Amino acid sequence: MYQDCFAPCPDIYLLNHSVGRMPLGAEASLREHFLAPWEQGDPEPWPLWLESIARFQAGLGRLFNSAAENFCPQTNISSALGKVIGGLPPRRGRDVILFCEHDFPSVGFVLQQAERLGFQTRMIPAREDAQQLAVWDSALGPDVHSVLLTHAHFNSGKLIPVEEITRLARAREIFSIVDIAQSAGVIPIDLVQWQADVVLGSCVKWLCGGPGAGFLWLEAETAARLAPLDVGWFSHSAPFEFDINHFEYADGSARFWGGTPSILPYVVAGHALDLASRIGVATVRQHNIALTQKIVSKVDPACLRAPADPALRSGTLVLALPDQDTVVARLREARVRFDVRPLGLRLSPHIYNTPEEIDTVVECLNGGGQ
């Protein structure tokens, strides 16, 4: 029934790990909250534009169980991560930033730049199973300053036990940063429960909020320990002071904001977040599991590259098939939208996908198809 809430797609769209479908009403929302105030309203549209930012933050707060002001708008995860890394306080004897070879490459590229700030980087190699707490237990050594955790790995569909790892990190005074690009909107997340130091996300995938509406979450006490290099007048405690000789960080997450913010992506995303709240992430997840399990139950278990247990799997099913080229051709013929990454085919059903669509996918995987 939620299919009617999104732009219709003539194909079987399973690319939600990449870009979610546009919610209906996005254009009207853009007109109402961005274009109309600029075109016809008060000659100064900023108060209304900033209301759109507040709506975006409130939407995130509702979804992730945290106060709206803990979310700072960001263009994307990579740039938000760069700002966090540039703001980390140095600590004697601890200079390692730990991450995983299975993290999204863009995130690794950013972390490698931290070496210019005097950090060293260390990767948990791809052969190790990042779902095992023991792997993190031995990797989070006394020289680790900060750790980057990717909640849902983009290439394997593995869900990482974030809550347990952040607990370990806290006990060892290691700063934790979590990337929720692949889980936001499909896996229920409670930021109070996680108690990570920083969480980075975007709205382009399962949240269906379009590109450019990233966010950086952190609580005021954590923000007080960080001094970002990358700032602007919206990072100032008094943005309208206009004294070039005086800069004072804003309290809380806003210190990561920067210069004049864009507005348009957050209007689009704010509309999508309202819809995500109405549907509920738990409902999306339930539907996603029902559809992915339909595939899992019909393919050779040896083909599965994502975990078979849905509790350990993100919204994405990954399959490596012996006759991949033939299957790919059949899926394309049946107008299934999916992609292929080093570990296999990625298939990610959202709330708007139907069991009948999945029947077609299964037929293609098993030799039938249209």
Ligand X SMILES: Cc1ncc(COP(=O)(O)O)c(C=O)c1O
User: What would the x/- binding string for ligand X be over residues 277 to 316, using CB under 6 A?
Assistant: ----------------------------------------
**31-39, 73-81, 282-290, 325-333 -> range binding ligand X (CB under 6 A):** 73-81
**46-54, 99-107, 244-252, 304-312 -> range binding ligand X (CB under 6 A):** 99-107
Q: Rounded to the nearest 5 degrees, what angle is found at the Cα of 254, between the Cα atoms of 211 and 270?
A: 35
Q: Is 182 in the site for ligand X (CB under 6 A)?
A: yes
Q: Is 60 in the site for ligand X (CB under 6 A)?
A: no
Q: Is 187 in the site for ligand X (CB under 6 A)?
A: no
257: exposed, middle or buried (Cβ count in 10 Å: 0-12, 13-18, 19+): buried
Instruction: Choose, by CB under 6 A, the member of 181, 216, 254, 336 that binds ligand X.
Output: 181
Q: Is 215 in the site for ligand X (CB under 6 A)?
A: no
Q: Is 104 in the site for ligand X (CB under 6 A)?
A: yes
Strands 198-201 and 175-179, how do they pair?
parallel
Give the closest residue to 172 by CA, choosing from 114, 66, 113, 93. 93
| Minimum separation from the CB atom of position 122 to ligand X (A) | 19
Query: What span, in angstroms and rounded, lies between the C-alpha atoms of 142 and 121?
Result: 14
Q: Which is nearer to ligand X, 179 or 219 (CB)?
A: 179
Q: Is 202 in the site for ligand X (CB under 6 A)?
A: yes
Query: What span, in angstroms and rounded, lies between the C-alpha atoms of 206 and 182?
Result: 7
Could you tell me which residues come within 8 angstroms of residue 114 by beta carbon, excluding any fewer than 6 positions away? 85, 97, 121
Q: Is 219 in the site for ligand X (CB under 6 A)?
A: no
Residue 361: other Cβ atoms inside 10 A: 26
Instruction: Choose, by CB under 6 A, the member of 179, 197, 219, 357 that binds ligand X.
Output: 179
Instruction: Choose, by CB under 6 A, the member of 77, 144, 198, 269 that binds ligand X.
Output: 77
| Minimum separation from the CB atom of position 31 to ligand X (A) | 27
Strands 344-347 and 317-319, how do they pair?
antiparallel
**35-43, 75-83, 91-99, 329-337 -> range binding ligand X (CB under 6 A):** 75-83
**2-10, 166-174, 175-183, 237-245 -> range binding ligand X (CB under 6 A):** 175-183
HEC string of 5-73? Answer: HECCCCCEECECCCCCCCECCHHHHHHHHHHHHHHCCCCCCHHHHHHHHHHHHHHHHHHHCCCHHHEEE
**35-43, 177-185, 230-238, 340-348 -> range binding ligand X (CB under 6 A):** 177-185
Query: What span, in angstroms and rounded, lies between the C-alpha atoms of 68 and 60?
Result: 7
Q: Is 183 in the site for ligand X (CB under 6 A)?
A: no
Q: Which is nearer to ligand X, 83 or 330 (CB)?
A: 83
Identify whether the C-beta of residue 52 lies closer than 8 Å to the C-beta of residue 34: yes
Identify whether the C-beta of residue 204 lies closer than 8 Å to the C-beta of residue 68: no
Going by the DSSP 8-state scheme, the letter that residue 104 receives in this structure is: -
User: What would the x/- binding string for ligand X be over residues 145 to 174, using CB under 6 A?
Assistant: -----x---x--------------------
Instruction: Choose, by CB under 6 A, the member of 29, 70, 78, 360 that binds ligand X.
Output: 78
Identify whether the C-beta of residue 334 lies closer than 8 Å to the C-beta of residue 370: yes
Query: What span, in angstroms and rounded, lies between the C-alpha atoms of 271 and 278?
Result: 11
Instruction: Choose, by CB under 6 A, the member of 9, 24, 106, 299 that binds ligand X.
Output: 106
- Contact footprint for ligand X (CB under 6 A): 76-78, 104, 106-107, 150, 154, 179, 181-182, 202, 214
